[in-house]
Amino acid sequence: MDQPLSTPLDKIKKCIESEQSFVLQGGAGSGKTETLKRVVNYCTERFPNKKIVCITHTNKAVDEIIDRVGTGVEVSTIHSFVGGLVKPYKRNLLKYLPELFCLPLFEELCIEHYGGDDKVRKTEEHNRYKALHETWASRRLIVLQESTEKVTGKREYDKAPSSFNAALNAGIEELNDVVRESLRHHHFKDVAYNDTPFDSFNNATFGHDGLIKIAALLFSNYSNIGKIVRDKYDCIFIDEYQDTDEKIIDSLINFTPEHGLTIGLFGDSEQAIYDDGIVSAIRFIDDGRLKLIEKEDNYRCSPQVIDVANKFRSDGLVQKVGLKEVNGKLEEPEEREGEATFYYSIKPLPPEKPVSPKKRDSDDLKSAYKIAKAKYDVKLKEYKLDLSCRLENLTAFAQADIGEHVLLKLPNKSIARDANFGNLYDLFDGRFRDTREEIRKQLDRLQFGQLIEILQLFNRSSIDNRSYNKLIGLLKKQGFVIKNKQDKRELYSMLEEFSVSDEAAYVVMEHAIKAGLISLSDSHKSFLIRRDRELERFAEDTSFDAFKKLLDHGCNTKKRMCDYLAENDDIDLASVVVEEKYEQLKKDVQSEAFFMGLFGKNIKFKEVLAFFKYENDDSNFMTMHKTKGTGIENVIVVLDEFNWNKYDFGSCFRAEDDNPSRQALTRKLLYVACSRAKKNLRCVRLIEELDEVRNISNYFDNCVHVNLD
């Protein structure tokens, strides 16, 4: 008689019984978190003396897991868990604290590293030099309160790169010596995890990223810590492992004893769409440290959607329809049927760009080029507007008869306006490529993320005691202590005002700092110092205002500026200055506009609130990045990059691409987006040529051409 097939849960039970660490790899809709709940229940019933901890990434996720598994098991964020492990070892923490603030020396990479391409080598080496120089300058500002000369441009750098690299390394070594000597004078009791995103050099404390780095150093240098973890826990289960920092996974697997501790990872490497996680556990699987357990069932999607989504996976896991019980009755296969359709339209040809004249060409040719270029610029603007309209019309065609649905696309200006942070988006879009990521990065640096977290906890505290306790704990770490009922009333009144404030964003931040809700971080201070020094430099540069006047006159290129100066004498600026300083002055104008916008009256605090509401999935606007773990009946995915350089949806349908890392990242994003659809999936894209359709038809059985002319 045939033995029944072993389920993923059965395999996990055997792993726990034999103290074998494992990774449960399951695609979208496979019920990974439900399996985690069942594993915890099995452990508590079968091995009641086992000490178990479940680790996840956010406080919201912690609450969700507690709701599923109950309060009898320790559930923690990754930072709370690691912070608790390292807290007792303050002397050791002080010893390794300089590693968070000391900078690595610049190491030149040989031409072989760049495939023998000397032009690429020169460009990339200068980019590396520039990045490290900027980090060094920022660190000098924090440690020494001293500004640093601007980084050397590529033209000068290329003349003597080794000399510039040596000078930078000398500066780094000097700064690192100051860092070590300064931190050596702190008492070990000063060293602590500050539960913020920021390391603090002056206070000898470390934030989220610093905690991960210093914990990894302790694990790798003190074997006793791994033994203590083994003695404290029998099972460590990590949810959404693909988003966990690789240093923590590595520490737990490689620096804890082989016996007496079971580590279980639950997640999906194909849903790792962010940059800071381990992504895949394949190296631990290959060396036998982890047993791979695949979960092939998909309890969410129709077979048509599953078929498409499977083709975007790169790990070999093939999902199949898993029927679930609804009100005690197993659903029928017919109930899961749906559709997966690709709607496309051919882009019209772009306007032809005129060929630039050469220096030796006649004035007539140059004059004709100026006229042709002006016409081209108008046509190009009209062409881009036409493409935008065509994409809207194609999307509307796909929406026509699908019923209630969710539209997924990359974050863009339209979504930002609809979600009420349009001015904030426009400010960053004028300066950065990855607009959404930079908004989050810079707002976090100015500690808006901390203030928003305080407000979110406050708004939930009236109905959730856990939120109230977290709020009080968070404020206490900032040095804000509630001593009596009057303090509490004043706090609540202030937070209520912030929640509905119509004041400028940074004005509200200044109120929060003055009230003691926010303790100014080193990073925040250095940002303000750099802003003030940059604005002061602009004011002292006599060519800066003249350059802005030229821009106001419509001279938005170097040539137009020089032509204007040659024909007019109303602006006091020499053409030679424009020739030499054009790029720098252009960047300076952008920087001034950015600083004045971010700290001015136009960016209201309610836009910052709206942005974080959107980021935290509390708004009605969904994008591809914000749907992980969500199941939606009908989904339409718009395959347009919206000027995001890190994605290329066309590459998803090609077997190979000249940028494989971008192709892999885009495929993962598309897998996440498509696998949200429970029933019906429709993708839309404007394509360059019909050859693309042949590639797309390998993924979608149903491709529909829509004529928009």
Q: Which two tokens stand for residue 433?
A: 């490529």
Q: Which two tokens stand for residue 463?
A: 């109905």
33 is in an annotated binding site: yes
Distance, in Å, from the CA atom of 440 to the CA atom of 423, rounded to the nearest integer, reads: 15
Residues in Cβ contact with 379 at an 8 Å cutoff, skipping those fewer than 6 apart: 351
Residues in Cβ contact with 327 at an 8 Å cutoff, skipping those fewer than 6 apart: none
Q: Using alpha carbons, list the distances in angstroms from residue 54 to 63, 79, 81.
A: 11, 12, 9
DSSP-derived secondary structure for 315-338? S----EE---EETTEEPPGGGG--
| Residue 471 parent element (H or E) | helix 465-477
| Residue 55 parent element (H or E) | strand 52-56
Q: Are 339 and 702 in contact (CB under 8 A)?
A: yes
**What single-letter amino acid sits at 187?**
H
28 is in an annotated binding site: yes
Distance, in Å, from the CA atom of 111 to the CA atom of 681, rounded to the nearest integer, reads: 47
Q: Are 238 and 265 in contact (CB under 8 A)?
A: yes
The helix/strand/coil state of 511 is helix
Distance, in Å, from the CA atom of 440 to the CA atom of 446, rounded to the nearest integer, reads: 10
226 is in an annotated binding site: no
Distance, in Å, from the CA atom of 315 to the CA atom of 464, rounded to the nearest integer, reads: 41
30 is in an annotated binding site: yes
171 is in an annotated binding site: no
| Alpha-carbon dihedral angle through residues 634, 640, 642, 643, given to the nearest 10 degrees | 150
Q: Are 347 and 341 in contact (CB under 8 A)?
A: no
| Residue 23 parent element (H or E) | strand 22-26
116 is in an annotated binding site: no
**What is the C-alpha end-to-end distance of the chain, expressed in Å?**
65
Q: Are 179 and 87 in contact (CB under 8 A)?
A: no
Distance, in Å, from the CA atom of 340 to the CA atom of 653, rounded to the nearest integer, reads: 15
Q: Using alpha carbons, list the distances in angstroms from residue 127 to 382, 430, 441, 703.
A: 35, 21, 20, 43
DSSP 520: P
Distance, in Å, from the CA atom of 581 to the CA atom of 489, rounded to the nearest integer, reads: 56
207 is in an annotated binding site: no
Residues, the chain:
709
32 is in an annotated binding site: yes
DSSP 349: P
Bridge partners (DSSP) of residue 264 are 22, 237
Q: Are 154 and 123 in contact (CB under 8 A)?
A: yes
**What single-letter amino acid sits at 156?**
E
| Residue 550 parent element (H or E) | helix 542-552
Annotated binding site: 26-33
Annotated binding site for ATP: 26-33
